[in-house]
Structure 1
Amino acid sequence: MTEQATTTSAGYRSIWTELRDVAFTQAWVKADGVSTRYVEAGPKDAPAIVMLHGTGGHWETFVSNLGPLSKHFRCVAVDMVGSGFSEKPDYDYEIAVYVRHVAAIMDELGVEKASLMGTSLGSWVAARFALTHPDRTEKLVLMSPAGLIATAGNMARVRAERTRAVENPDWDSIKAIFENLIAEERNRIPDMIALRQAIYRLPKTREVIDHVLILQDAEVRERNLLTEEEWAAIEAPALVIASGKDHNEYRSTARQVAGIIPNAEVLEMPHVRHWPHFEDPDTFNAAVLGFLQGR
């Protein structure tokens, strides 16, 4: 990975260095009864991309992608129900809940059809959305995908890590989350850690953390997984990112679903972990633009 891929020319990377020359709007919309935070960039009449974060995440995971992709697409990145600064209702967030929420966001914003880009949980939601709403799904970009297999060890790790961070949201416990998301220390930027800390310090986040982590319960996760037959029924073309330094469960899932989805291709990114789009945006953005534009 080059220095240019991870830092600015001044040697410092932040959320704002990624967005300072991007025309974007942040707002809230009521979707499926949930006050939902989102950001939008790009022409409203351009083909749409809906961007979905991972467990307990927020739209800022896509700060390095909004600029390049919004030159060609209408980009909508959201805080999914219960996450970020969106409303946190008192019920479990299973995959059908997320799918319903995403569809409602698209309805409210007048997006009839979109490509969906998801990270981890977001890719799981995107895949289920493609099955539930094939007529509204253009293409899929699946990063660190979940939703095919589940290991007890990984579920326990995620639950323990996130619960600890919410119950004691000091700098070290929040920063520890990013060690499993981002391979290079220099890309675990302070303002991203500070943003996650602010979210985890919200009283409501602590109240709903069990709802957020419900998919880490074996029985619940099992009933939400997509079967191999369901992955094989996805009609939308898919670009699957295989992150070489990610946990084995995600590396395995990436290669398996890429082999099952009928019209899928793999982008190998051996030097990144769970956030390939953030760690090496130059490689990622070029590949995604080529895929979405049919090059």
Structure 2
Amino acid sequence: MRDAPNNAPYQSIWTHLHGLDFEQRYIKAGAVRTRYAHAGRRSAPAVIMLHGTGGHWESFCANLAAHAEHYDCYALDFVGSGLSDKPAHPYEIATYVEHVLNFMSALNLEKASIIGVSLGSWVAAAIAIAAPERVEKLVLLSAAGYFSTAANRAQIKKDRGGSAADPSWERIKGIFSRLLAREEARIDDLIGLRQALYSMPGAAEAMQNVLVLQNPDIRQKNLIQDDGWRAIVAPALVVGSLADSDEYLDTARIVSKLIPDASYVEMEGVGHWPQFEDPETFNRLSVAFLKGG
């Protein structure tokens, strides 16, 4: 085993998954063939994990084991992302909401708690508003969907769109320099997986459909207004990442005050993926919240 630059043991996706009893499967969620990972007892309460823009279920590889001790856990690839189907039309928030609700119905999940990061947090909140009877609790990481800045939209388009058009190692690694605060957290496994996914036929075209939410007019009409956040009845844990101090941290602080039954915590030394960068802290906070602590 080779060492990371700081002499810590080398990390990979399988560092987190190798001892976990889990399965990767595909299921039709409506018309969308959907890739997902499952771990935990099917008789336990369900937890669904939703990734960010242009991501994949492996962003939760460090969280499945801890949550599966108590919950029936599902981490999926959104429509248009990962290895799920990529229908040729723009993906707005309603598209993702429909996809997740169809995914739940296909698996006979009447209700679930939802953990979402970035775009996933936006979709989770939108589901809680559109179908409150389907949502038990929310855990929102790098919260999005309240406002956006031109600079951040441009950066996302440059990172995801540019990397899908030219999936070189350096371009893909550049995405993770903004997702993860610490260099040693930007492991080769993640870069290699993202490179493989972005190199697939049709990936560049699908990314343009994913990136419609970076169009200012489309973004604006998809944002959740104050009354929407206030309408969320599910208890929520909102996590702010102190090394991701841009619109996401601001959004986390704002929406945690708008959601009626919300708790807010901050994590130090982590970027846009706190669940991956400091899984010990995040898993402890998340599991305690979901269990009612």
Q: Same fold (TM over 0.5)?
A: yes
Deviation of 1:122 after TM superposition, in Å, equals 0.2
For residues 1-295 of structure 1, the aligned pairs below 5 Å read 11-295=9-293
The one-letter code of the counterpart of 1:176 is: G
Deviation of 1:110 after TM superposition, in Å, equals 1.2
Task: Give the secondary structure class of the aligned counterpart of 1:220.
Answer: helix
Aligned length: 289
Q: How many angstroms apart in 2 are the aligned matches of 1:10 and 1:41?
A: 28
Which deviations, in whole Å up to 9, do the C-alpha atoms of 1:91-147 show, x marking residues without a partner? 110000000000000011111100000000000000000001100100000000110
TM-score scaled by length of structure 1: 0.96
Q: How many angstroms apart in 2 are the aligned matches of 1:32 and 1:207?
A: 22
Q: How many angstroms apart in 1 are the aligned matches of 2:203 and 2:165?
A: 10
Deviation of 1:270 after TM superposition, in Å, equals 2.1
The one-letter code of the counterpart of 2:95 is: V
Q: How many angstroms apart in 2 are the aligned matches of 1:118 and 1:204?
A: 26
Deviation of 1:204 after TM superposition, in Å, equals 1.3
Unaligned ranges ≥5, structure 2: none
Which deviations, in whole Å up to 9, do the C-alpha atoms of 1:186-216 show, x marking residues without a partner? 1101011000000100121112221010000
Task: Give the secondary structure class of the aligned counterpart of 1:236.
Answer: coil
Task: Give the secondary structure class of the aligned counterpart of 2:202.
Answer: helix
Task: Give the secondary structure class of the aligned counterpart of 1:64.
Answer: coil
User: 1:10/1:247 Cα in 2 relative to 1: closer, same or farther (>3 Å)?
Assistant: closer
Deviation of 1:10 after TM superposition, in Å, equals 7.2
Deviation of 1:233 after TM superposition, in Å, equals 0.7
Q: How many angstroms apart in 1 are the aligned matches of 2:174 and 2:282?
A: 24
* Off by >2 Å, runs of 4+ in structure 1: none
Task: Give the secondary structure class of the aligned counterpart of 2:167.
Answer: coil
Q: How many angstroms apart in 1 are the aligned matches of 2:116 and 2:275?
A: 10
Deviation of 1:247 after TM superposition, in Å, equals 4.2
Give the aligned partner of residue 3 of structure 1: none
Task: Give the secondary structure class of the aligned counterpart of 1:37.
Answer: strand
The one-letter code of the counterpart of 2:229 is: W
Task: Give the secondary structure class of the aligned counterpart of 1:262.
Answer: coil
RMSD after superposition: 1.3
TM-score scaled by length of structure 2: 0.97
The one-letter code of the counterpart of 2:258 is: I
Deviation of 1:12 after TM superposition, in Å, equals 1.5
Identity %: 50
Deviation of 1:53 after TM superposition, in Å, equals 0.1
Q: How many angstroms apart in 2 are the aligned matches of 1:12 and 1:208?
A: 33
Q: How many angstroms apart in 1 are the aligned matches of 2:200 and 2:244?
A: 29
Q: How many angstroms apart in 2 are the aligned matches of 1:205 and 1:27?
A: 21
